[in-house]
Structure formats: C-alpha cells, structure tokens
C-alpha cells in the first residue's frame, strides 16, 4: 500500500515541479477591441495620428522603423496627413546627406553632413548600426518596428500588453535580473526595455487624455498600420471579390441544376452533348 | 483518348488544322465529349480545383519573381517592403500565392483521401495513382523551396533543419551525409548560395509538376474515371459527356472553393503563417520552436517521434514512399469503401490518425496530455499514430481485403442512380 501511495506521489511531485517552472512563462495577452478588426475594419485616423506622435516622441528614441517612408503618412488608408503635412514632418528629420559636389560626406569638424528629410525618405534609424544600438541599451537590441505587430504571436494585443504590462509585483521567488524589468507578458518575464510610457509622456493636441492606456492604444494602432499599411484596401477589395464570387456561385448553381435536371441515358445524347430535357427511362 | 473520336471539324479552317495538328480534336475528346460516369460526386471536383490552383500559383509566382531579389541581404526587404508596400497590389499577389500553397495542399489531401476511399488506385489505375504521388512529392519540394524565399526566421531555420536531415547518412557512411549537405547548401552553412538555388528550383518545379499533371490526366483518360460505386461502367447509359455536365459541376464547386480561399486571402491572410517569418533571417538566433507549415506537420511528427535521427528520417521517407505501393497492398476485389464495411471504419480511423499526427507535429517537443492526473507525453501519442499509419497500409490493407465480407455491388451505375432518384 505504501508503495502504491509512492507511485501516486510521483505525478503529483512532477506536476508541482512543472507548476514552479511556470512562473517565468508569459501570461496570455490582454484582449482589446481594435477598430481595424473584422470584415469592415478600418484604422482610427485619430489614433493613427496620436500613435505617430507617441512613436516619434517616445519609441523612435531606440526603435527603428526602416520600411516606412514619409510619403506613407499621406497615403490612402494611412494616418491621413496631407502631403504638405507629411513634407513638414519629413523635413524635421535629419537624413545623412549624399556626397556633396566636392565628394565630401563630412564637414570640416568631421561631423556627418545631413540634409532635411524628403517624402521619399524612410524614417531614419536612431542608431547607425546594431553594435551602437546594443551599446546604448545594455546589450539588448531594440527590434525594428516596421513589422512588429505581424512578427509577434498575439499581434496588437501582445504589443499592447507588453507596453502596458510594467509596474507589476513579481510573484514570490521570481528573480528580476540586473538591468531588466519585470513584465509578465514577455517570454521569461525579464525584459530589457524600460517602461516606455507614463502618464503625460506626450501631450495630445486633440485633447485626448494622455493616459498610459490611451498612449498604448494609439501607438499600437499606428504600429498595426505600419505592419499592414494596405489593410483598408484589402478589406474593401475583399468585400467586392467575395460579393462577386457569391453571385457567380448562385448563377453557376442555377446552371448546374438546370443542366443536370435532364441527365441523358442513351448513347446518342452522349455523342451530341445534349442540352436539357426530361429524363427518359 | 479513350474510345474513338467523335469530333467532326465544321469549317474549312478547322478541317485544315485537323489534318495537320488535331489539337481541337484532342481538347474536344478530352474535355467536351469525354464520357464520364454519371455518378461522380462533390469529392471528384477537386481534380479540377487542383489544376486551377497550379495555374494560380504559376501566374502569381511569375509576377512575384519580377520583384523578388534572391539575395540573403535583400530577399526579406524585397518581399516585405517592395512587394508588400510598393508594388501595386503586390500585397494581394503575395497573399494569394502564400495562402494558395495552403489551399493547394488542402485540395490535394482531399483528392488523395477521396482516391483512397473509393479505391481509385486499383487496377487499371495504378499508374494514375503513382503519377499522383509523384505530383504530391514535387509539391512538397516546391512548397519547401518557396517557404525559404522570404528569408524570415522560419524560412532560414526550416531550410537548415530539413537540409541537415541528409547529414544522418553519416551514420551509415561517415562524412558522406555532411558532404551531401554541404553540396546542397553550396556553402558550409545555409546562405546566399542556398537561397539562390532554392529560388531557381522553386521557379523550375511547378513546370515539372505541370508536365506530370499532363501525364496524370492522360493516365486518367485511358481507363476513364473511377466513381463512388467503384464499379466499371457497363455502357453509355452509365455515362454523361464531360461537357456540360462536369464542366458546370466543377465550376460551381471551384467557385465555392474560391470563396473559402479568398476569405483567408482578404480577412485572415496570415492565418496559416508563422509570426517568426516576419522577422528577418538571423543565423545567430534560433527560434524557440521550429515548425514546418501545417501541411507537413504529420510527417514532422513522425520524424520527431523516433529518437534516432537516421531512423527518424527513414520513417518519414518510408511514410511517403509507402504511398507508391498502395495499388498492390490492397488485396480487396472491391474498390469502393461504400461496400467495404470494415475498411470504411479503418479508413476513417486512418484519416483521424493523420489529423492527430498533424496535431502532434504542431506541439512543442516536450508537450504532454494530462489524462486523469497522468502525463502522456505527445511523443508517445505520435509513436502510436505513426504505428497505425504504417500498419494501415502494410498490415490492414492486405489482410482486411482477404477476410472482409463486402456488401453486394449494384448491377450498374445507371441502375444505382435511377433507383436512388426513385426512392
């Protein structure tokens, strides 16, 4: 009998050991409602513009977004800036200049020559190379944000959960590593990114209160657009395509029923590719 | 092809052409007057759907290749930036192509299971089945090469894992496996040379598939279609001409299939994808879980269920090779499972077994089912499922055919169809 109890104890102990290892497993992302979900989903323009502001004033200090160009800001389905506004935004960035007429890319003091950004330019990265980015971030590499929403399981909910998931008490016995922060939504729960957002990190010109949740919601909307700038076109083309296919299926179904209504049973009709008629039997 | 031609050219031009290149006669005899059994059901529409999918993949693939750059530094951005953001409707073409691969495999699996259920591999259609298996193997290779091209993390690590399987040969002949792997890579690691040759092969193989599809259709048109009853047609009363009967039926179901397909393209384009493939390939960072696309998961589960690498590769290869022998493994005189009560059940268990294997392949290597407090490691589930996969073909098929009491076959297709109509 003692032996039997011992046998029963094995899975219990195993499952306890298993439970202990779960402390570092990430929590499932918080589920949020997003305007761009569903068949008719579109991006919330206000959130896109506010999100751009959060990206520009907060995220872009460490994160690049190499695949997005300034002209995208004025493209259909995007944040809805006018071309003039996008030009002003572009020109506020300093882009490493092409060689000048004398073939120089550095000025007399050895500084890199720059020029104001143009619509065709992409967002410039905050660091010149990976090593510089790691050096400035305690050895960690802030990922490029161009595709971040599509590159993470859970998409917008995951990114939202990460950037709002700080300032929580680690469970008893959990060790927060030196130079890292506790974030229960991150794999391993030790994240190198410091809490990026705080109350009033930015000041929204449209009067939206700059709470952490509002900032996060806005920047995640913006990043979703950056990952999938054609989403609105995709949703509207898809609706037209499916509507057309449904009508076509209906017409084909009627043809199908009509043609099969009088299945031929004799050789002559096989030869002559007959039309329809009553079944002869 | 089968039977004598009934085509009569009606105009001077077609008479002239018919004497020199009877191509209209060929099309007429193959797709217009071609007699098909009158009782083909929904499951027989997938042949046409597959031909359509091959066409879609080739067309979208040709356009994608115009913008794609097969270079390990540029491939990722040529897809994610140029095709997805800059090329007009590039996102649409890419999503049609990527989801098209999944739809192509979905259709081919339905087509294969249909063939298994109705005994379409049995005499005189053995070669038809074998050509189909070759098409499937070519599809697997093409899909694998294609998945590598976007050069995301899963592309790169999938390519590394699969090509490294050849190094298992080292266990038989030392260094040979490594030499083969190096030769496949064109380098000492998966890199630029590998990407370039995979692109070349990915472009080539669809045309090889198209060629074998031609043979497949030829081999179909000589004996003619099998049918859900699995009995040979007795005469013209059992048949209808392909056009308009099956053209309209195939078209209707093709459009239903397209609705399903386009729903994914437009509303869940990344459903079948892996988020890790939106991260550029990085040889220095291994993803925590390297998983193949869903359509290869059953074979991946078999590979992983064997603890010894070479044996695992052999089991996986054996599972594919087994398909070639099916025409001679089945000992039953009756084709269709409709009249094989025992085989019908074993068939459905087999279908469920394949889904179970796919599920096992999708889970992490250390996953387990907790049944009443006892952990059942999934690797053991996969082992049992692999065992059934092989037993189904190599033990049950030859044996059941000998002992099974089949139910009586109808006298003819026409009789069965008309009786059903009357009832």
Q: pLDDT for A205-247, tens place per residue?
A: 999 999 999 999 999 999 999 999 999 999 999 999 999 999 9
Instruction: Pull the structure tokens for residue B149.
Output: 């091209």
Beta bridge partners of A96: A114
Is the pLDDT confidence value at B379 over 80? yes
pLDDT of A280 > 80? The answer is: no
Q: Which of A24, A270, A278 should we substitute to test contact with B (largest number of B Cβ atoms within 10 Å)?
A: A270
Q: What is d(CA B93, CA B69) in angstroms, rounded to the nearest whole number?
A: 16
Would the CB atoms of A252 and B38 count as touching at under 8 Å?
no
Judge whether residue B208 has pLDDT over 70. yes
Query: What pLDDT is stored for residue B289 in this prediction?
Result: 87
Contact B239 A253 (CB under 8 A): no
Residues A144 and A210 in one domain: yes
Q: Are B170 and B177 in contact (CB under 8 A)?
A: yes
Q: Indicate if A250 and A214 belong to the same structural domain.
A: no
Same domain membership, residue A202 and residue A139? yes
- Give the model confidence (pLDDT) of B111-128 as tens digits: 999 999 999 999 999 999
Is the per-residue pLDDT at B417 higher than 90?
A: no
In a domain, A251, yes or no: yes
Gyration radius from chain B CA atoms: 24
DSSP run (H or E) holding B249: helix B242-267
User: Between residues 32 and 71 of chain B, which touch chain A (CB distance below 8 Å)?
Assistant: 32-33, 35, 38
How many interface pairs between A and B have CB atoms less than 8 angstroms apart? 113
The fraction of chain B above a pLDDT of 90, given in percent, is 90
Specify whether A63 is located in the same domain as A136: yes
Mean pLDDT of chain B: 95
Q: Which residue of B has its CA nearest to A275?
A: B244
Structure confidence at residue B126 (pLDDT): 97
Q: Is the pLDDT of residue A14 over 70?
A: no
Q: Is residue A12 part of a domain?
A: no
Q: CATH no. for residue A144?
A: 1.10.760.10
* φ, ψ dihedrals at A140, nearest 5°: -90, 150
Residue at A159 is within a domain: yes
pLDDT, average across residues A18-31: 75
Question: Which residue on chain A is closest to B78 by alpha carbon?
Answer: A67
How far away is chain B from the Cα of A123, in angstroms, using its nearest Cα?
13
Long-range residue pairs from B405-409, CB within 8 A, at least 24 positions apart, any chain? B405/B341, B406/B332, B406/B333, B406/B334, B406/B339, B406/B340, B406/B341, B407/B338, B407/B339, B407/B340, B407/B341, B408/B339, B409/B229, B409/B230, B409/B231, B409/B334, B409/B339
Please tell me if residue A72 touches chain B, with a CB cutoff of 8 Å: yes
User: Which residues have CB under 8 Å from A128's CB, separation 6+?
Assistant: none
Longest dimension (CA), chain B: 82
pLDDT at A263: 66
Please list every residue in chain B whose beta carbon sits closer than 8 Å to the beta carbon of residue A249. Answer: 252, 255-256, 259
Q: Which residue segments constitute the domains of chain B, with CATH numbers given?
A: 26-290 (1.20.810.10), 292-406 (1.10.287.980)
The tally of domains found in chain A comes to 2
A64, A194: one domain: yes
Best of B244, B270, B277, B375 to mutate (most A CBs within 10 Å, chain A): B244
The model's pLDDT over A50-106, given as tens digits with 9 standing for 90+, comes to 999 999 999 999 999 999 999 999 999 999 999 999 999 999 999 999 999 999 999
In the predicted model, what is the mean pLDDT of residues B140-147?
A: 98
Cis, peptide link before residue B244, omega less than 30° from 0: yes
B-facing residues of A in 241-280 (CB < 8 A) are 241-242, 245-246, 248-249, 252-253, 255-256, 259-260, 263-267, 270-271, 273-274, 279
- A136 with A241, same domain: the answer is no
Nearest to B87 by CA among B64, B59, B57: B64
Asked if B275 is an interface residue toward chain A (Cβ–Cβ < 8 A), one would say: yes
- Let me know if residue A184 belongs to a domain: yes
Residues of B in contact with A253 (CB under 8 A): 252
* Helix or strand run (H / E) with residue A212: helix A212-227
Assess if residue A93 is contained within a domain: no
A176: in domain = yes
Chain B residues close to A242, C-beta within 8 Å: 259, 262-263, 266
- The C-alpha of A159 sits at a distance from chain B's nearest C-alpha, in angstroms, of 13
Tell me the C-alpha distance between A72 and B86, whole Å: 10
pLDDT of residue B296: 96
Beta pairing, strands B368-371 & B374-377: antiparallel
Q: In this complex, is the C-beta atom of B27 within 8 Å of any C-beta atom belonging to chain A?
A: no
A11 and B CB contact within 8 Å: yes
Beta carbons of A259 and B244 less than 8 Å apart: yes
Residues of A in contact with B417 (CB under 8 A): 263
Say yes or no to pLDDT of A10 above 70.
no
Residue from A45, A95, A46 nearest A70 by CA: A95
Mean pLDDT score, B323-331: 97
- Check: complex ipTM more than 0.90: yes
pLDDT at A274 over 70: no
Mark yes or no for CB contact B252/A246 under 8 Å.
no
Q: Which two tokens stand for residue B120?
A: 């379409």
Whether residue A155 lies inside any domain: the answer is yes
Which residues neighbour B322 within 8 Å (Cβ) at sequence distance 6 or greater?
Answer: B390, B393, B394
**A11 against B224, higher pLDDT:** B224
Q: Classify residue A216: in a domain, yes or no.
A: yes
* pLDDT tens per residue, range A178-214: 999 999 999 999 999 999 999 999 999 999 999 999 9
pLDDT above 60 (res A264): no
Q: What is the DSSP letter of A181?
A: E
Six token digits for residue A19 = 């439970």
How much of chain A, in percent, has pLDDT values that exceed 90? 82
Q: Are residues A57 and A139 in the same domain?
A: yes
B244-262: per-residue pLDDT in tens?
999 999 999 999 999 999 9
SS3 A244: helix
* d(C-alpha A224, C-alpha A218), whole Å: 10
Question: Does the pLDDT at position A272 exceed 80?
Answer: no
If one counts every other C-beta atom within 10 angstroms of the C-beta of residue B377, the result is 13
Q: Are residues A28 and A55 in the same domain?
A: yes
Among B153, B188, B192, B158, which Cα is nearest to B282's?
B153
Sort A30 into a burial class: Cβ within 10 Å, 0-12 / 13-18 / 19+. Answer: middle
Q: Chain A: give the shortest CA distance to residue B69, in Å.
A: 16
Radius of gyration, alpha carbons of chain A: 29
Last residue of a domain, one of A185, A204, A229: A229
Which DSSP category does A96 fall into? E
Do A137 and A252 sit in the same domain of this protein? no
Residues A178 and A255 reside in one and the same domain: no
Comparing A44-48, A177-181, A271-275, B370-374, the range with the smallest average pLDDT is A271-275
**pLDDT tens across B294-323, in order?**
999 999 999 999 999 999 999 999 999 999
Q: Do B275 and A237 touch (CB under 8 A)?
A: no
A215 and A158 part of one domain: yes
B positions 142-181 inside 8 Å of A (CB): none
Q: Which residue from B minimizes the CA distance to A225?
A: B85
**Does A67 reach chain B within 8 Å, measured CB to CB?**
yes
Looking at residue B373, its pLDDT comes to 87
Average of per-residue pLDDT values in chain A: 88
Look up residue A122 and give its DSSP letter.
Answer: B
Residue pLDDT, tens place only, B124-139: 999 999 999 999 999 9
- Which domain range does residue A239 map to? 234-262
- A270 closest CB neighbour out of B240, B249, B267: B240
Considering only the beta carbons, identify the residue of B95, B255, B265 that sits closest to A248: B255
pLDDT grade for A262, boundaries at 50, 70 and 90 = low
Tell me whether residues A263 and B239 touch, CB distance under 8 A.
no
The Cα-based distances of B158 to A80, A152, A259 in angstroms read 40, 18, 49
Q: Which of A11-15, B1-5, B365-369 has the lowest mean pLDDT?
A: A11-15
The reply to whether A141 and A246 lie within a common domain is no
**Dist CA B125 CA B161 (whole Å):** 37
| Residue tagged 């095709």 (tokens) | B83
pLDDT(A267) > 50: no
What is the pLDDT averaged over residues A252-269?
73
């Amino acid at each position: 009998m003692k032996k039997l109890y011992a046998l029963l104890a094995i899975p219990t102990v195993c499952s306890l050991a298993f439970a202990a290892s779960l402390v570092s497993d990430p929590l499932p992302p918080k589920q949020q409602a997003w305007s761009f979900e569903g068949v008719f989903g579109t991006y919330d323009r206000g959130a896109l513009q506010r999100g751009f502001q959060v990206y520009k004033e907060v995220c872009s200090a460490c994160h690049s977004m190499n695949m997005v160009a300034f002209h995208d800001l004025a493209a259909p389905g995007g944040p809805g800036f006018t071309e003039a506004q996008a030009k002003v935004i572009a020109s506020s960035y300093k882009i490493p200049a092409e060689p000048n007429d004398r073939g120089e890319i550095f000025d007399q003091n050895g500084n890199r020559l720059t020029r104001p950004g143009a619509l065709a330019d992409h967002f410039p990265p905050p660091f010149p190379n990976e090593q510089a980015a790691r050096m400035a971030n305690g050895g960690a590499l802030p990922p490029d944000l161009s595709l971040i929403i599509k590159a993470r399981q859970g998409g917008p909910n995951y990114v939202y959960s990460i950037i709002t998931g700080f300032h929580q008490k680690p469970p008893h016995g959990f060790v927060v590593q030196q130079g890292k922060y506790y974030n229960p939504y991150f794999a391993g729960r030790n994240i190198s990114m410091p809490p990026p957002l705080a109350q009033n990190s930015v000041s929204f010109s449209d009067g939206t209160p700059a709470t952490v949740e509002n900032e996060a919601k806005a920047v995640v909307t913006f990043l979703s657009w950056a990952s999938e700038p054609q989403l609105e076109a995709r949703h509207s083309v898809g609706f037209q395509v499916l509507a057309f296919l449904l009508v076509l299926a209906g017409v084909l179904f009627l043809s199908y029923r009509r043609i099969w209504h009088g299945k031929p049973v004799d050789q002559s009709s096989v030869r002559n590719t007959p039309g329809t008629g009553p079944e002869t039997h | 092809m089968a039977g004598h031609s009934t085509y009569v050219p009606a105009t001077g031009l077609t008479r002239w052409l018919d004497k020199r290149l009877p191509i209209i006669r060929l099309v007429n005899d193959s797709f217009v007057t071609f007699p098909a059994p009158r009782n083909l059901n929904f499951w027989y529409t997938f042949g046409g759907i597959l031909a359509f999918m091959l066409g879609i993949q080739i067309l979208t693939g040709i356009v994608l290749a115009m913008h794609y750059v097969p270079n390990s530094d540029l491939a990722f951005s040529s897809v994610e930036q140029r095709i997805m953001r800059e090329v007009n409707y590039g996102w649409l073409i890419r999503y049609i192509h990527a989801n098209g691969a999944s739809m192509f495999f979905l259709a081919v699996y339905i087509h294969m299971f249909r063939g298994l259920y109705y005994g379409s591999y049995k005499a005189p259609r053995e070669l038809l089945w074998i050509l189909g298996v070759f098409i499937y193997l070519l599809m697997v290779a093409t899909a694998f090469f294609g998945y590598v091209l976007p050069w995301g993390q899963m592309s790169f690590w999938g390519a590394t894992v699969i090509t490294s399987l050849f190094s298992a040969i080292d266990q038989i002949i030392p260094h040979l496996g490594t030499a083969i792997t190096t030769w496949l890579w064109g380098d000492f690691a998966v890199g630029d040379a590998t990407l370039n040759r995979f692109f070349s092969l990915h472009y080539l193989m669809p045309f090889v598939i198209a060629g074998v599809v031609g043979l497949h259709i030829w081999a179909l048109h000589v004996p003619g279609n099998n049918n859900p009853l699995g009995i040979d047609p007795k005469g013209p009363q059992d048949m209808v001409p392909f056009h308009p009967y099956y053209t309209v039926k195939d078209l209707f179901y093709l459009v239903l299939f397209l609705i399903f397909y386009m729903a994914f393209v437009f509303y869940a384009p990344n459903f079948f994808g892996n988020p890790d493939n939106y991260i550029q390939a990085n040889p220095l960072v291994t993803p925590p879980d390297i998983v193949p696309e869903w359509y290869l998961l059953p074979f991946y589960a078999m590979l992983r269920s064997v603890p010894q690498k070479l044996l695992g590769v052999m089991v996986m290869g054996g599972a594919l090779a087994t398909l070639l022998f099916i025409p001679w493994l089945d000992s039953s005189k009756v084709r269709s499972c409709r009249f094989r009560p025992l085989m019908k059940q074993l068939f459905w268990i087999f279908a469920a077994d394949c889904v179970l294997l796919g599920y096992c392949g999708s889970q992490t290597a250390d996953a387990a089912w907790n049944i009443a407090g006892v952990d059942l490691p999934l690797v053991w589930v996969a082992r049992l499922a692999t065992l059934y996969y092989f037993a189904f073909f190599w033990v049950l098929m030859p044996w059941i055919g000998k002992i099974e009491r089949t139910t009586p076959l109808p006298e003819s297709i026409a009789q069965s169809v008309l009786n059903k109509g009357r009832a």
